[in-house]
Chain A
C-alpha cells in the first residue's frame, strides 16, 4: 500500500539559509499535517491543510510557511534557519471521513542546521 512520502530524508543547512521540505500524502487523503520533533522531544504540531486550504496553525514560527498544492502535496518552507530548527520534521496525512481520524506518518525529514 502507498504510504506518505517525504523528501528529502536528510538535509544539512547553514544558519540563515532556507530549506524546503516536501510531503506527498497517501492518494485520496485530503488532510496534511506537519510536525516538528526535536531531539528527545515529543512531536509538536506546526500546521495543517484540508482540501488545499490552511486548516489550523500550531507552534509554527513566522519564518516558516507552508502550502498544499492542487495535487495535494505539501511543502514546508523554512527561512533564516537557526540552530534550534534542527529537528525531525514529520508529515502526516488522513482522509477525514473514511479513515476516521487515523493519521499516517511519513518517515520524516531530518534537518540539521550548522
Chain B
C-alpha cells in the first residue's frame, strides 16, 4: 500500500511571495504518477500539476512547479508570485501506473496543507 505524507497542516504567506509545500510518499512501485490538487473553499477538486515518475524533468504549469526527487520519494510544490486566489487546501496524491497491475484504485491523498495568502 502507498502512503502520502504532508507535514505542514497550514502555511501562510504574503501575496506575491513564493511558497513551497512539502510532500513525501512511500511506495514499492517503480512506475507511478504524482499529483497536486487544489481545493478552494468551494470544495471543488482542481488538478494543479502532474508528474510521471519515469520522467526526470520536473513538471511546470505557469506559476506552479514541482521538485521531484524520486530516490528521496519527495514531491514538493512551489508556487511563485502567489495570489489571493491561491488560498486553498492543497493535496498531494499518488497513483500507481496501471501497468503495475491491480485495478484502477485511483488516488491516495495526503492529509492536505491549508495555504493562506495574505494581502
Contacts and interface: CB of A to CB of B under 8 A. Distances in A.
B106 A92 contact: yes
Contact of B104 (A31, A41, A100, A102): A31
B95 interface: yes
A41 B102 CA distance: 26
B107 A103 contact: yes
Size range of the interface on A? 20 to 34
Interface in A53-84: 55-56, 58
A56 B91 contact: no
Contacts of A42: 91, 109-112
B27 to A, nearest CB: 15
B47 A33 contact: no
B60 interface: no
B64 interface: no
Contacts of A43: 45, 91, 107, 109
Interface string A20-58: 000000000001010101000111110010100001101
A31 B37 CA distance: 19
Contact of B103 (A56, A92, A105, A108): A56
Contact of B106 (A35, A104, A108): A35
Interface of B: 33, 35, 37, 42-47, 50, 52, 91, 95, 97-98, 102-112
Top 7 A-B pairs, shortest CB-CB distance: A56-B103, A105-B45, A42-B109, A55-B103, A56-B105, A55-B104, A33-B106
